[in-house]
Amino acid sequence: MPSFRSDLDGIPVYRPGKPIDEVSRELGIAEIVKLASNEWPLEPFPEVQQAVADAMVDMNRYPENSVYHLVNGLAEYLDVPTDHIWMGAGSTELILAMALAMGGPGTSFVFSDPSFVMYPIAAAISGAEGIAVPSTPDLGHDLQAMLTSVRPDSSVVFVCNPNNPTGTYLPIADVERFIAAVPDATLVVVDEAYFEFATASDYGTAVPEALARDNVVVTRTFSKVFGLAGLRVGYAIGKPDTLGRLRRAQVPFSVNSAAQAGALAALSCGDRLEARVVDNEAARTQLEAGLAARRVEYVPSQTNFVLFRPAQDPAVLSDSLLRHGVIVRPMGPFVRATVGTGAENDKLLEALDAV
């Protein structure tokens, strides 16, 4: 056997939601609804599909490493300068690159628990110690406890807003106060993967903080409201010097040509994106009302998923739902279900009744 890293077995394994084809093959069920990975339930806009198809003829060439056209499109879309944007193969790649650039033995990363599973994984891959700070009783980030958990060796603190898997959010004023209190030597990564779905009046983006401070980076993704999870495109916003340093730990050419073309085309579908946010809110309300009607306790969500506490064992329940053709994700004492189309939500609620 080759000599693997001695701490390799301590790295938590990322467990993705089961793919539809796999469940279909294993259980012999034709009609499967996947509500396990917080994806957009409908296929990409026709312009996006066309742009990806058009990009295929150049696949003999490497993509533009600078992601030139997409960065320019995003800069306009977000109204931020191009040199404040960093692209990656999903925000997951950026989180890992940040971990490699900031971590290593003798460092620590602070994050809320439960939160996005990539934070402890990225910490462990880099060799940093993960400091998981228990959430508040209502499953939000305990910012005060997170602040006191930041040590002199803490090089990164993750704030997930809105948070996966709880669906909770932090008012922007709280995030700003937190950022102001974190030492300059600690990078604050505000993960806004679900930013577009949040409609609470006191929710807001930390992008202005990222534009103003060397130690703040905001991450976002094309995998959620843009509906391009399969293309793998995410981005970070921050100061050029900070992004330049972080980028050193990134694989070259990670955003492929099809991804660059598809994401750029998606940016021009602005009005339909707004409609998606409205549709998501209506479908989420339907799902939450369905859970409430069944006396299932759920966490009010600002995202495209809902976390609920079933009466049954979550793993057993998820397995039973799978047999009814619905893929959800058990998470500790909870189950997380992505908001689907109206029909998909109905199928989940009917399956819940059946099991």
Ligand X SMILES: Cc1ncc(COP(=O)(O)O)c(C=O)c1O
Interface residue list for ligand X (CB under 6 A):
38, 90-92, 116, 160, 164, 191, 193, 221, 223, 229, 234
Measured from the CB atom, is 185 or 253 closer to ligand X? 253
Cβ at position 235, least distance to ligand X in Å: 9
Residues whose CB falls within 8 Å of the CB of residue 232, separated by 6 or more in sequence, listed in order:
89, 90, 93, 223, 255, 256, 259
The per-residue b/e assignment along 58-81, b for 16 or more CB within 10 angstroms, e otherwise, is eeeeebeeebeebbebbbeebebe
Minimum CB distance to ligand X smaller for 23 or for 118:
118
C-beta of 164 vs 280, nearer to ligand X: 164
CB of 116 to ligand X, least distance (A): 4
Q: Please check whether residue 115 is in contact with residue 281, taking contact to mean a CB–CB distance below 8 angstroms.
A: no
Least separation in angstroms between CB 187 and ligand X:
16
Any idea how long the chain is?
A: 355
What are φ and ψ of residue 104, in 5° steps? Answer: 105, 165
Shortest spacing between CB 223 and ligand X, in angstroms: 3
DSSP 53-94: HHHGGGTTSPPPTT-HHHHHHHHHHHT--GGGEEEESHHHHH
Contact, 35 vs 228, CB < 8 A?
no
CB closer to ligand X, 233 vs 317: 233
Q: Which residue number is nearest to ligand X in terms of Cβ?
A: 90
Interatomic CA distance for residues 335 and 187, integer angstroms: 31
How near is the Cβ of 152 to ligand X at its closest, in Å? Answer: 27
Identity of residue 281: E
Nearer to ligand X, 97 or 101 (CB): 97
Task: Give whichever of 254 and 324 is closer to ligand X, judged by the CB atom.
Answer: 254
- Give least dist CB 234 to ligand X, A: 4
